[in-house]
């Protein structure tokens, strides 16, 4: 439902309610002034019917507002946000979905060497920075994903601190209580293979080394998309 349609319906309901209000007032006045006449009963019924119409108009307007218009407006705004984000992804990303992940090697703060592409493994890669607000909103979800999938030896995860040092990401992980593998990319040497700007940025790399999911920024709806893609990719492996 568009804003103009909702406005037209609201105006129509308001006019109907106003007419019913005038009828109700007139009926009450006539009922009082002609209390001893036989028309008293008819005026009372008209007043009650008018009140019911007013309440029905208000209820209908509220039902349309909460059950139809606001959900439609939310979907419209989300579609606009997704379209804007898709444009940003297109404009700032070197490696698109379907393309081969560039090769790189990093050492996590735990001393584990991560080499991509990692053939035979499904890899979730997340770029963040310790100062980034959306990153801090997203990383608790990444931690839960890590907890849910880390027992599967076909799955790997690496969270990479863009323009961060090993010391800053170590301190950040400890302070936040995260347990996922984390590495530093102080010179953007890895990030620059993937994109020009914008974090958080999340990619899923298939067991064949192709990027099958790529996104930037963070919305709550992203979490289930990531989980669904991980389940899909892991489901293709034996």
> Could you give the angle at which helices 3-33 and 40-64 cross, rounded to 10 degrees?
160
Structure tokens at 140: 């608790």
- Given this model, what pLDDT does residue 92 score? 82
Contact between 234 and 122 under an 8 Å Cβ cutoff? The reply is yes
- Given this model, what pLDDT does residue 199 score? 92
Q: Over the stretch 64-74, which tens digit does the pLDDT of each residue have?
A: 877 777 677 66
pLDDT < 50 positions in the chain: none
Give percent above pLDDT 70 in the chain. 95
Q: Over the stretch 79-134, which tens digit does the pLDDT of each residue have?
A: 777 777 778 777 788 889 999 999 999 999 999 999 988 889 999 999 999 999 99
The H-or-E segment that residue 105 falls in is: strand 104-107
């Amino acid at each position: 439902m568009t804003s103009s349609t909702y406005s037209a319906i609201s105006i129509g309901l308001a006019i109907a309610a106003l007419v019913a209000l005038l009828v109700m007032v007139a009926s009450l006045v006539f009922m009082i002034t002609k209390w001893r006449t036989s028309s008293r009963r008819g005026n009372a019924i008209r007043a009650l019917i008018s009140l019911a119409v007013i309440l029905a108009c208000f209820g209908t307007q509220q039902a349309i507002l909460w059950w139809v218009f606001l959900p439609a407006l939310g979907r419209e705004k989300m579609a606009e946000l997704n379209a804007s984000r898709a444009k940003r992804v297109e404009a700032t990303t070197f490696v698109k979905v379907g393309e081969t992940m560039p090769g790189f090697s990093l050492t996590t703060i735990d001393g584990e060497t991560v080499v991509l592409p990692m053939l035979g493994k499904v890899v979730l890669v997340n770029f963040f920075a310790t100062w980034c607000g959306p990153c801090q909103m997203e990383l608790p979800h990444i931690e839960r994903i890590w907890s849910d999938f880390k027992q599967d030896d076909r799955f790997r995860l690496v969270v990479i601190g863009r323009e961060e040092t090993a010391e800053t990401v170590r301190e950040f992980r400890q302070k936040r209580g995260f347990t996922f593998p984390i590495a530093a990319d102080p010179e953007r040497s890895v990030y620059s293979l993937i994109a020009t700007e914008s974090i958080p940025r999340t990619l899923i790399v298939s067991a064949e080394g192709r990027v099958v999911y790529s996104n930037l920024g963070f919305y709550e709806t992203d979490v289930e998309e990531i989980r669904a893609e991980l389940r899909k990719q892991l489901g293709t492996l034996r």
